A and B are shown apart, each in its own frame.
Chain A
Amino acid sequence: MLVVRRRAGEAIVLNGDIEIEVIEISRTRVKLGVRAPRHVTVLRRESVVLAQQNQSAASLLTESPETVSDLLRLLGSLTTNSPQTSQVGADM
């Protein structure tokens, strides 16, 4: 891994057209600014991991419906019934 020391107001440039500037440094955080062409996607690393996790979550009913059935069996409530939209929050 390339390690570069920078102060607030200084920047690094990637590939000639992506600039990452150190905007502010506090005791526990660094605020970064990114200037990049519109087609470049900029994400926090944890968001990339979360996106993969969400893709996996969206596949649950298609690829592993038995695990949901197992969960319901463990919860002691495996029967069928009609779906209802929830009045969210009433008893959650």
Chain B
Amino acid sequence: MVIGGTRVLVSEHLGEVEWDPASELLLPGGLPGFEDERRMVAVEVPAQRPLVFLQSVDKPGICFVSLPVRTIQQDYEIVLSEDDRAALRIAHDASPEIGVDLLCLALLFPSGNGLEANLGAPVVVNLHNLRCVQSQTEADARHYRLGEEGRWEPVC
């Protein structure tokens, strides 16, 4: 559905979402396990900040729940591989900064009765062109689990 310059998609989880095609995220290779998901929108529900929902544009049932990585680990830094830089169209000698040039989101997934996030594989958005990859610069996962007091604790 198109309303003026914006469009409306009906998410199975979020209901009606109005979005501007100019804010659409482009995932050239999709995400591992979801290689066909090339178009997504980042959705915030104001009362549920800092959560960011990554909703598929094409499949109403596909929606990821994520958090900006620095809400989990304040001093988080990322090292992009050459493949990631190429996908994001970032020069090999550039030093992009999180929050200025990049948005880094950790996908949340269920673990036992709680939640985990893998900071070793964030979804990275180039804020200048909205191209997006799931970066995996570390072969070993860096899992954090949500503790009972709302703090994220590294999983050993």
Whether A and B are associated in the same complex: the answer reads: yes
Partner-B contacts on A (CB < 8 A): 43-64, 67-68, 70-72, 74-75, 77-89, 92
Q: Can you list the 7 inter-chain pairs with the closest CB atoms, starting with the nearest?
A: A74-B150, A51-B33, A57-B109, A81-B47, A89-B127, A51-B32, A54-B33
Q: Tell me the dominant secondary structure on chain B's binding face.
A: strand
Q: In the bound complex, what is the Cα–Cα distance between A52 and B107 (angstroms)? A: 12
How long is the Cα–Cα vector from A2 to B149 in the complex, in angstroms? 47
A64: chain B residues within 8 A (beta carbon): 110
Q: How far is the CA of A55 from the CA of B94 in the complex (A)?
A: 33
- Asked if B5 is at the interface of the complex by the 8 Å CB criterion, the answer is no
User: Chain B interface (Cβ within 8 Å of chain A)?
Assistant: 11, 13-20, 23, 25, 31-34, 41-53, 61-65, 68, 99-100, 102-103, 105, 107-110, 113-115, 118, 121, 125, 127, 130, 134, 136, 139, 141, 146, 149-150
Query: Measured between alpha carbons, how far is A63 from B32 in the docked complex, in Å?
Result: 20
Q: Which residue of B lies closest to A47 (CB)?
A: B32
Contact between B20 and A61, CB atoms less than 8 A apart: no
Q: Would you call the interface of chain A mostly helix, strand, loop, or mixed?
A: helix
Distance from A25 Cβ to chain B, minimum over Cβ atoms (Å): 18
CA distance A85 to B57 in the complex (A): 12
Residues of A within 8 A of B46 (CB): 81-82, 84
- Which of B32, B99, B115, B118 has the most C-beta atoms of chain A within 10 angstroms of its own C-beta? B32
